[in-house]
Structure 1
Amino acid sequence: MSKFLFHPLAWSIFIIQCSTNTVAAEKQLSVDESTERLPTITVTAEKQDERHTSSQAITQFNHDLLNVPFTKSHVSEKDIQNYNVQGINDVLAFVNGVVYQDSYGGGFWDNYSFRGFSTDPNMGTIYMRNGLSSVSGIHSPRDMVNIQAVDFLKGPMAAMYGQGAIGGIMNITTKQPEWQRKSTLSLSGSILEEYRLSVDTTDAINEDFAYRLGASYEDNKSFRDHVDNQHYYLSPQLAWRISDQTQLNLDTELAEYQGVFDRGIPMVDDKIAVNKKTFLGEPSDGDIKIKDQMYQLRLNHEFDDNWNNTTALTYSHGEREGISTEIGSIAADGRTANRFRRAREFKTDTINFQSILRGKFDTGSLKHELVTNIEAGHYTIDQIQRRNAAGTNSPLDIYNPVYGQNILVLTRVTKNTKETQDMIGINIQDQVFLNDQWNILLGGRFNRLEQQIDNHQTLISSQQTFTPFTPRAGINFKPTDRLSFYSNWGKGFELNTGLNKNNELYEPEKTNSWELGTKYQFLPQSWLGLTYFDLDKRHLLTEGITDSYVDNGHVQSKGLEVELQHQFSDRLRVNANYTYNDASVIESEVDKKGSRLKNIPKHTANLSADYQLNIFGHETGLVGNINYYGQRSANYIDNGTTLPEFTVVNIGGYLQIRPDLRAQLNIDNLFDKDYYVASYTNFWVQPGEPLKATLRLDWSF
C-alpha cells in the first residue's frame, strides 16, 4: 500500500470522520436503548424518474435535477435493453457533449471525449463506478450485463473525484445483489455473425446474505476481412446485511478480450478510396489479448437519517499483449502502404482506498449538506514495446493486398519503462440551501501525487511531486417549481505519461471549466435543458505513431448543449439533443493557432423515440434513433484531413411473447450508409458497420 495512506493530514481527516461517526452512533445507540422498537411499516411509492434526478454522484446527495447547479444525461436500464446496447460506445448515441474517440485499435477499450477533451488513448477514458472514484489501469471494453444505468455528469467534478474529471465524467451504476430471486438468460445473433450469450441472476442465500452473478460471452466475426474478436466477462457479487444500518458488499469483475488489432483504412489525397472491408494489417500477427480483474470491498453504514458513510478498498490488475502491423505512411504512388510492426507487453496494478462521509445539518435557517472524502491510491504500469529495425518497411498494395510477404522481425526495443503514481486526495464540500429558491455549492480537494518513470533501456529515472488544489463552486436559482438557472466553475488535472526530449516527466494537464445553464421542467415527465460551456486546458499530451509524445500546449473547448425530453403520452417518449462544440488550439509548438482537436465535430445531434403499445394482450414496443455527426479533423495533429459528416438511422421492436419470454429485433444503419466513426491519424480511419439486424431473446426464470 502506498506510503500516502499513512500521511498525517490524511489520518487527521480520517480521525475527524471517525469522531463524527462515533458521536452519531452513540446518539443512535442511546435512542435505541430508551425507545421500544415498533412494528415496521412499509410504504410503497411510485419510483421517481431517474432522468429528472441529479444522480447521487454529482453532489453525493439525491435531489431533483432542478435543485443542483449541474446537469446530466441519463441512459436507463430500459434504454439499454430496448436498444440492445452492448457497450459504452453504443450508449454515446443517446447523449450530448460526449463523442466516441478511436480506441487505438478497433474497439479494444472504451475511449470518448467529454465536451471536446479526451484522455490518454492508450488507457481509455476514466469513469466512476457506483459514485466512487475510478480505478486507473488497463481495462477491456465494459460489458453491459451487470449495468443498471449510465449517467454522464456534466460540469467540473475533479474537486470530488480527482484527476480526469474535467468538464464532466461518466458514472456507471451496477446491478446489486437482491433478496428476491430473479434470473434472465439472453441470447442474440446478428447477420454479421456476431453472437452473444449472457446471464444475470440474483437471490438470497439466507436472510443476511445475497448474491448476484453476471456473465457473458461474445464471438464476433465483423464485416471487416480477417477481423474478429471474442469477449469473456464474469461478475460475481456478494452482499452481507450486517444490520439494518450496515451492509458489506464484495464486488468482483473478471474480463478477457481478444481479437485482431485493426487500424482501419487510410485516406488517400484527403479521401477514403479503399473498400471499407479491406484489412491492411497482417492476419498472421494473431490476436491482441486484454485481461483485467477487479475486486472491491465496499462498506455502507447509516448512523441515522442524516449521516452515512461509504468506505471502499479496490484492487485492479490489467494486461495487454500482442503483435500488429500498421500503416505509417502512403507512398507517392497513392496505393502502396509503408507499414511497420510492433509488439506490446503492458501490465497495470492499482490499489485504491476511499471513504466518504455525508451529513445533513442546519445552522439557523440555512440547510447544509456536507461531504468529506479521503482517498489514497498506488498505481503502476510496466510497458515493453518492440518494433522492426529502423528504416525497414513492409509494403502492401492497399487496393490488392497480398499478405504474408516481408514480415518484419521485431529487433528493436522502443519502450521498456515502469511508471509509478502515488496519490492522496482530501476534499470537503458543502451545499448550502439558503431558501427554497437559492442554493450554493462550495468544495475543494487537496491532491498530492508523486510520479516516477524508470527507463530500463537508458537507466534514466525521472520523478516529480504535484500538489494541485482543485476547487469547484456552483450557484442555483429556482424562481419557480419548474424552472432553474445555474452556473458552476472548477479546476481539474491529469498526470501525463512519458519523458520529454530532456528525459524529464511532462507537465500534468491543467484545466479550467465553467458553464452557465438553465433547466425547465414544463411537464412532470418532460424537460428542456440549455447549457453553455467553456473549458481551457494546458499541456494536452498526444502520442504519435512513432511512440513519441507531442505536447499540444494550450487548447480550448467552447460550446452549447441543448436537450429536450418529452413524454407525449403514457406510450410515447422522445429525447432530442444537439451540441455545438468548437475545440481548437490556442498555442502550440507543433500545431498552429486555431487548429482543430481530433475527432471533435462542431455539430452533433441525435433523436430517439420509444413507443409502447399492446398487441392482442402482449406488451410491445418500437424504438428508433437518428444520429448526426459533423465533419472532424482526421489526424491527431490537424493536417487538414477531414472525416466526412454522416447520419445513421437505427430502429427496433420488442414483443413480450409470454411473461417469461421476450423477443426483440434491432436494425442498425437502416439505410446501409458508408460512414467513418473516428480516426487517430488519417491513415487509421475506423469504418462504421453496414446494415445489421440483431435478434435477441430474453428468458426470465
Structure 2
Amino acid sequence: MLPKPHPLALSVALACGLPMLAQADAVFTLDDVLVEAELYKSYAEYAPTSGTKTDLPWQQVPQSVSVVSSAEMQDKGAIRLVDALEGVAGVNNTLGEGSRDQFVIRGFDALNDTYRDGLRDDGGFQTFRSLANIERVEVVKGPAGALYGRGSAGGIINLISKRADGRKVLDVNLGAGSEGRFGSRLDAGGNLTDSLNGRINLELRQGDSYVNEVDYSDYFIAPTVRWEPGERQTLDLDLELLHQEVTPYRGVPSVNGKPVDVPVETYYGARNDFQEADSQRLALTHKVALADSWEWVNRAAYNRITLQQKGTRNANVNGNRLEQTVNNFGFDPQTSATLQSELTWNTEHNQLLMGVDYNEFERDFTLATIKKDQVPTQDLLNPEGRNTDNPGFAPFRQNSTDSLGLYAQNVVTLGPWSVLGGVRYDRMELEQQFKGTTSSNEDEKLSPRLGLVYTLSDELSFYGSWGRSWQLPYGGIYVNPRLAEFYRTDLLELGMKSYLFEDRLMLHGALFRIDQQQPETNDNGEITARNEFRHEGLELEARGQITDAWNIAAGYSYLEAKDRETGYRPNDVSDHLFSLWTSYQTDFGLKLGGGVKYVGNRFAGNNEAVTLGDYTKVDLMAAYSWQQHHTLQLNLDNVLNEKYILGTTSGGSGAHQLGYGAPTQWMLSYRYQL
C-alpha cells in the first residue's frame, strides 16, 4: 500500500506547483460577466452566484464560495451528493444514519442547510437527493444568515437545477457496478413551441451494498417547462417526484475508545429494518427585466414527504455482548411552503438586492421504541442476521415553524475597492403539540454582514468580511424548553481570489474564525449557561483548467475546532482535509483521471470518546468517446482498498454508530449525448 501523504505536505506541493499569475483581458462589469461565462470550461464552467444572489463576479465576493460543475460530477461518476462534494475545501460527509445526505462544513453540522435554487430544501431532509436534474452545486462557507436566514453556522449547500432553456438535449446514461448496483438516467428537452420549452430528467437506481443485508431502490421524475411570453420574462415550472427505499446502516460499535475491528461488510442491524420515503416538490420561478438594470424574481415552492423508518441501533457494549434498541420514526406527513421575492439593481458601480421571504414548515412526527432491555443482545464480533420486533408508528408530536425575512444588500465599487453591506430581519415562530401540551418559541433577529474587497489586478483580489447569523436549535424541527434561545454565530474571514490561464482556473485561499454561542435555558426560558465553540482555520482551493485538456479540482483545509470550556473537538470533525481530483482528455477520445482524498484525525461521541484516526482514499477513472455522441466510462473507487470509518451519527450516539466506508468498488457506464 502506498504511504499516506501528510495533508500539509500535499497542500504545500499544490501551492508551490501553481504557475505565476497569467495576464487576462477580462473586465469585471456586469455585461462582461455574461460574456465571460462562455469562457469557462469543464470544472470552472460557471462562476458561482450563491454568495451574493447577484451576478457580482466571483473575484469580488468577500466570502468563500465553491462551485462543482456537471462536468466534474460526470468525471467522478457521482451518484450521490457525497460524491459530488468531495474536493470542496472545508466540506466533509458524515454517516447520516446511513439513510440521508449529511455534511459538516467548517466543522458545523449542515443537515438543515441544503437549498435548491436559493430556497430551503426541507423535502430532502431525510433522503439521498438525486443529482439527475442538478446542473451544478454551489457551497457558501461561513454563516450566511444575512441572505438565507435561520441557520447555516458553517455554510450552505445550494443545488442549481437544470432548466428548459431552449437547447435541444438528449443525454442517456446506463451504468452497472459491483454489489449488483444498477443506474440509469435520461435528460431530454427542447422547444415545444416558439415560446414554450420543456425538459425532463428521469433516474432509476437500485443495488445491494458492501454491507450485508443493506440495499436500496429508488426512482426520480423531474419534468420542467419554461414559458417566455416576451423578451424580458421567463416563467419556470418544476415538478420533482422521488420514491426511495433504503436499509438504514448504523455502522459498528466501539470498545476501549476504538471502533470494533470487524470486516466492513458486518451488519449489526435487523433484516427487517427499512426506510421508505415518497416526496413531491412543486416550484415556480418568474423573472422579469423591468428595465435595463432592474430585475424582479419571484419564487414559490411546496414540498411534501411521507416517510417511515424502522431502525435497530447500537446502544452499549457489555462484555462481549452488544445491547441494542429499536427506534421507529416517520413523517405523516412533513410539508413546507416557501414564497420569495427579490429585486435587483445592477449598474457598473452598484449592485443592490432587496428581498422578502416566508417559510412555513409543518411535521406530524410518529415515533415508537423498544428499549434495550427488551431487545436480545448481539454477539459483539459475530452478529447474527435476524429480525427484531416492529413497534409500529404511533402519533407522537406535531410541530410547525413559520419564518418571515426581510433583507437588503448593496455592493458599491469605487475604483479598485468594493464595499458590501447587508442586513436581514427574521421573525421566527415555533409551536409544538406534545402529549396534550403546547410549547412555543419565538424571536426576532437581525443578521448583519460587511465585506471589503481590494482588486489589485484583473487576476487578483483580496477581501475581508464579517457576518452574524442566528440558528434555530435542532434546525427548528421541534421545541426543547431548555433550548429556548437561538444560537448566535459570528464570522471573521480574510482571503484572496485569483484567476489563472485566461480565467480558466480559479484559485482561492482564506483564513477564518467562526464563534458560536449555544445558550441553555430553564423551563421559564431564562438563560442558565452559554456553551461556546470556536472553529478557526485555513482553506486553499483550485478548480478549473490548467490547459484545454487538463482539469483539476483541489482543496485543502486545516481546522482547529473545540468547545472553548472543555477543549474537546466536536463529534466527527477532522483537523485536516485534502482532496485532489484531476482528468486529462487526449486527442484520440481517451480521458484519464483520478483523485486522492485525505481525512485527518477525528473523534466520535461526546468528549472525544472514540478515536477514529485518519485515512487516505484513491479513486481512478477512464473514459473513451467516439463519434462525438458515445462514451464508455469506468470508475474505480478506493483502489487501494483502504479500511476506514466514513463517518458517525451525531452527538453522543456516534460512539457506537461508526460507519465503515466502502472497499474497492467499480462502476461501468455508457453515455449517449446528442
Q: TM-score range by the shorter chain?
A: 0.7 to 0.9
User: What is the Cα-based RMSD across aligned positions, in Å?
Assistant: 2.4
SS state at 2:86 partner: helix
Which residue of 269, 272, 279 maps to 1:292?
279
The alignment status of 1:398 with 2:385, answered yes or no, reads no
Report what 2:397 is aligned to: 417
**TM-score, normalised relative to structure 1:** 0.85
**TM-score, normalised relative to structure 2:** 0.88
Separation in 2 of the partners of 1:155 and 1:260? 33
Q: 1:140 to 1:389 in 2, by over 3 A?
A: closer
* 1:213-292 alignment runs, 5 A limit: 213-271=200-258, 272-285=260-273, 287-292=274-279
Separation in 2 of the partners of 1:624 and 1:127? 28
Separation in 2 of the partners of 1:540 and 1:118? 17
Report what 2:11 is aligned to: none
Separation in 2 of the partners of 1:428 and 1:131? 15
Is contact 2:323–2:372 with CA below 8 Å preserved after alignment?
no
Is contact 2:243–2:279 with CA below 8 Å preserved after alignment?
yes
Which residue of 323, 326, 335 maps to 1:338?
323
Which residue of 301, 317, 335 maps to 1:349?
335
The alignment status of 1:95 with 2:88, answered yes or no, reads yes
Separation in 1 of the partners of 2:569 and 2:163? 42
Is contact 2:540–2:556 with CA below 8 Å preserved after alignment?
yes
Separation in 1 of the partners of 2:506 and 2:346? 29
Q: 1:412 to 1:330 in 2, by over 3 A?
A: farther
Aligned residues: 623
Report what 1:382 is aligned to: 364
Separation in 1 of the partners of 2:494 and 2:146? 18
Separation in 2 of the partners of 1:158 and 1:43? 31
The alignment status of 1:148 with 2:135, answered yes or no, reads yes
Report what 1:175 is aligned to: 162
Q: 1:564 to 1:411 in 2, by over 3 A?
A: closer
The alignment status of 1:47 with 2:20, answered yes or no, reads no
Report the Cα offset of residue 64 of structure 1.
Answer: 3.1
Q: 1:234 to 1:356 in 2, by over 3 A?
A: same
Report what 1:465 is aligned to: 442
Q: Deviations over 1:601-652 (max 9, x none)?
A: 001111111111022xxx22111110000110111x1243111210000010
SS state at 1:410 partner: coil
Report what 1:358 is aligned to: 344
Separation in 1 of the partners of 2:65 and 2:44? 8
Q: 1:207 to 1:410 in 2, by over 3 A?
A: same
SS state at 1:89 partner: helix
Q: Deviations over 1:658-677 (max 9, x none)?
A: 22211101100011111111
Is contact 2:326–2:371 with CA below 8 Å preserved after alignment?
no
Separation in 2 of the partners of 1:470 and 1:45? 31
Which residue of 611, 622, 644 maps to 2:584?
611
The alignment status of 1:440 with 2:419, answered yes or no, reads yes
Q: Deviations over 1:263-284 (max 9, x none)?
A: 0112222233122111111103
Separation in 2 of the partners of 1:327 and 1:528? 44
Report what 1:201 is aligned to: 188
Separation in 1 of the partners of 2:602 and 2:49? 34
The alignment status of 1:599 with 2:572, answered yes or no, reads yes
Report what 2:464 is aligned to: 487
Structure number, greater radius of gyration: 1
Identity of aligned residues (%): 24
Q: 1:62 to 1:141 in 2, by over 3 A?
A: same
Separation in 2 of the partners of 1:289 and 1:325? 15
Is contact 1:138–1:317 with CA below 8 Å preserved after alignment?
no
Is contact 1:140–1:256 with CA below 8 Å preserved after alignment?
no
Amino acid at match of 1:410: P
Is contact 1:274–1:398 with CA below 8 Å preserved after alignment?
no
Amino acid at match of 1:358: T
The alignment status of 1:60 with 2:53, answered yes or no, reads yes
Is contact 2:232–2:288 with CA below 8 Å preserved after alignment?
yes
SS state at 1:160 partner: helix
Which residue of 640, 647, 664 maps to 2:616?
647
Amino acid at match of 2:261: A
Report the Cα offset of residue 47 of structure 1.
Answer: 3.5
Report what 1:478 is aligned to: 455
Separation in 2 of the partners of 1:602 and 1:132? 31
Is contact 1:491–1:512 with CA below 8 Å preserved after alignment?
yes
Separation in 1 of the partners of 2:544 and 2:134? 25
Report what 2:498 is aligned to: 520
Report the Cα offset of residue 289 of structure 1.
Answer: 0.8
Separation in 2 of the partners of 1:604 and 1:43? 35
Report the Cα offset of residue 167 of structure 1.
Answer: 3.6
Amino acid at match of 2:488: K
Amino acid at match of 1:255: L
Separation in 2 of the partners of 1:408 and 1:44? 60
Report what 1:530 is aligned to: 509
Separation in 2 of the partners of 1:87 and 1:460? 40
Q: Deviations over 1:534-584 (max 9, x none)?
A: 11112289xxxxxxxx99922121110012347443222333321001111
Report the Cα offset of residue 259 of structure 1.
Answer: 1.7
Q: 1:504 to 1:70 in 2, by over 3 A?
A: closer
Is contact 1:387–1:412 with CA below 8 Å preserved after alignment?
no
Amino acid at match of 1:147: I
Is contact 2:483–2:519 with CA below 8 Å preserved after alignment?
no
Report what 1:75 is aligned to: 68
Separation in 2 of the partners of 1:329 and 1:476? 52
Is contact 2:146–2:467 with CA below 8 Å preserved after alignment?
yes
Amino acid at match of 2:433: D
Is contact 1:353–1:375 with CA below 8 Å preserved after alignment?
yes
Q: 1:276 to 1:540 in 2, by over 3 A?
A: farther
